[in-house]
Amino acid sequence: MLSPHELATLMLVRSAPDQIDTARVELDTLLDYRLISLEPRVGGWRRPMLTPAGVHLLDAAARLERQHARDALTREDDNLL
């Protein structure tokens, strides 16, 4: 299971990979779980990239969040009746 910091780091890799410090401890866990890879760049710099498993995990989390929001709206509508 990922920690909140690891999940947040995974989301940062998706949205702003060039802005992540590659020395972040969370990246090691994400690499171990094969949720990201480090793409070599010019000058020895490495850019974190989502693997298909990382994309799948974030997409699943987004679906859960959308379902949670719909459920909350349904409960709110039921309370109005």
Query: Over 70: is that where the pLDDT of 68 sits?
Result: yes
- pLDDT-wise least confident of 1-5, 25-29, 43-47, 68-72: 68-72
Query: Over 70: is that where the pLDDT of 78 sits?
Result: no
Let me know if domain 4-80 sits in CATH 1.10.10.10. Answer: yes
Average pLDDT over residues 42-47: 89
- pLDDT-wise least confident of 3-12, 14-23, 71-80: 71-80
* pTM confidence score: 0.79
Report angle CA 33, 50, 55 to the nearest 5 degrees.
90
